[in-house]
Structure 1
Amino acid sequence: MSDVLVIIPAYNEEKSIFQTVTKLRNYNDYDYIVINDGSKDSTEAILHHNELPYINLPVNLGIGGAMQTGFRYARKKGYKYAIQLDADGQHDPNDLQMLVDAIQLGNQDMIIGSRFVEKSQYKGSSVRRVGIYYFYYLILFLTGNKITDPTSGYRIINKEIIKEFANYYPVDYPEVEVLVDLAKKKFSVKEIKVEMNNRQGGTSSITPVKSIYYMIKVSFFSLIRRVL
């Protein structure tokens, strides 16, 4: 058993899940668990047929519920570190070792794989970049921390934060909110450069309308969590 668990939340990822897991296993020997978040396509059938380790959620809980399930599993099994790796292939498993090295050698509580802390090949839409810049300044205002890629889900956390997230994790759009909460609790966060790929299949759940809802909701709850 490794002391690192890679958590792969998956919702309707039949086009990419097997490729994502295969790439992960080709790059390293870390333990992993797929959280099948109530998928309505053949994601579960692919996992079962290929005998891949997974937890099946009977209903869709969203990214927050899926990740909290993974964090609870990590805590129960005693892992020292947990990493989120998206099932759609956007996160490059080749960068996993850099995340692990950074948290083991740097005495940090969380390491974020960032597209912007250094120049990378990432080319996002203008709408997505506006949202990222907005949350950068929101976090800077609320915490004083400069997080260049606050919406990146490519993160590794240590045992203390695994415990925190197993007890509470936002239901949806958790990335920004937890950064504000961790800053309040004096946990340390650092960014390192990673590369992000285009989705290998499926479609993003973030539509323009949801983006507006996302910004309003996250801003409100981040403000509340900072004050309380």
Structure 2
Amino acid sequence: MTNCFLIPIYNHHETIAATVQALLPYQLAIIIADDGSDQQTKQVLQQLAQQQALVDVITLPRNGGKGAAVSAALRHAAERGFSHGLQIDADGQHDVSDIPKFWQLSAQQPQALISGAPLYDDSMPRGRRIGRQITHFWVNIATLSRDIRDSMLGLRVYPLAATVSLLDSVKLGQRMDFDIEIMVRLYWQGVPVQFISTKVIYPVGGRSHFSMLRDNWLISKMHTRLFFGMLWRLPKLLQRKWAA
């Protein structure tokens, strides 16, 4: 296995340096996909790339959404010859102390998508909690299973060959709908999905780019696509369910 880190970023100049610093001890390449950030963030990224040989910054010409940034990072990692990429957010929400568990399980199951199952504290907004519960319901329907414990957390290890193959074969949502859709579609393709419980926080004063109107609309459309995609995959999914 040849591993790297993948960080999508949009205007998180306050937290990205600390996130990178926490990853440096692993001595793995850190691919940061700048999703059309502001000048302040670009300056911080430029400094990080100059100071840290492990940091590789790719820049999208305009803001395309989290999915666009992650997709660009996944493709870039595959082009550089990496086999697995661990996606982590730039805003400090994720518990980096759990990263060794992700790499360990990925080494044991290199064909699998390894994802975090979030353990939230009281800092999680009530509206986001309800939204996740709705998504869990529809993902269970799309997969005819409860195999996917959480599909929204952006802390996960992707097997790059299978993932880039999927990106080449279907157009996925490019914003906050991406994390959900790519996990369900990888599951449909037979990629095993494994979970590791991990703490997630909503930092005080943290900046969220989730748009309640736009992103909820995109996620609703995505669930509709996945529902109809499930219908014509129904025989295969039922066979998989009965064989489990």
Within 5 Å, which residues of 2 pair with 1:121-136? 121=121, 123-136=123-136
* Residues 165 and 199 (structure 1), Cα distance of their counterparts in 2 relative to 1, 3 Å cut: farther
What is the number of residues matched between the two proteins?
223
What is the distance in 1 between the residues matched to 2:128 and 2:37?
A: 25
State the partner residue of 1:13: 12
Distance 2:61 2:114 in 1: 31
- Which whole-Å CA distance do the structure 1 matches of 2:210 and 2:41 have between them? 20
Q: Which moved more, 1:163-172 or 1:93-102?
A: 163-172
Q: How is 1:118-197 mapped onto 2 (pairs within 5 angstroms)?
A: 121=121, 123-146=123-146, 147-167=148-168, 168=170, 169-172=172-175, 173-197=177-201
Q: Give the direction of change, closer, same or farther, for the CA distance of 1:181–1:166 in structure 2 (3 Å limit).
A: closer
Contact kept in structure 2, 1:68 and 1:165, CA below 8 Å: no
Q: Is the 8 A contact 1:177 1:218 kept in 2?
A: yes
- Which residue matches 1:49? 47
* 3-state SS in 1 of match to 2:200: coil
CA–CA distance in structure 2, aligned partners of residues 42 and 79 of structure 1: 30
Runs of 4+ in 1 over 4 A off after TM superposition: 120-123
Cα deviations across residues 175-203 of structure 1 (Å, max 9, x unaligned)? 11122212221111011111113347652
Distance 1:161 1:112 in 2: 15
Partner residue of 1:65?
68
Residue identity opposite 1:3 in structure 2: T
Extract unaligned runs of 5+ from structure 1: none
**Which residue of 1 is the match for residue 105 of structure 2?**
102
DSSP-derived class of the 2:18 partner = helix
Contact (CA 8 Å) 2:110, 2:159: kept in 1 or not? Answer: no
Q: Indicate the structure (1 or 2) with the bigger Cα radius of gyration.
A: 2
Residues 35/211 of structure 1: CA separation in 2 closer, same or farther (3 Å cut): closer
TM-score under structure 2 length normalisation:
0.82
Counterpart of 1:24 in structure 2 is 23
1:209 to 206, 213, 227: 213
Instruction: Supply the AA of the counterpart residue of 1:138.
Output: W
Give the secondary-structure state (helix, strand or coil) at the position aligned to 2:34: strand
Which of 34, 51, 76 is 1:36 aligned to?
Answer: 34
Q: CA deviation at 1:84?
A: 0.7
Root-mean-square deviation (CA), in Å? 2.2
Change (3 A) 1:180 1:43: same
Q: 82, 90, 95: which one pairs with 1:87?
A: 90
**Can you list the C-alpha shifts for 1:59-103, whole angstroms capped at 9, x where unaligned?**
112111111111111111111111111111112222211111112
44 and 211 in structure 1: CA distance in 2 versus 1, 3 angstrom threshold:
closer
Give 5+ residue unaligned stretches, structure 2. Answer: 233-244
User: What TM-score do the two structures reach when normalised by structure 1?
Assistant: 0.87
Measured at CA, do residues 148 and 123 of structure 1 come closer, stay the same or move farther in structure 2, by a change above 3 Å?
farther
The alpha-carbon distance between structure 1 residues 66 and 164, as it changes in their structure 2 partners (threshold 3 A), is same
Are the structure 2 counterparts of residues 208 and 65 from structure 1 closer, same or farther at C-alpha, using a change threshold of 3 Å? closer
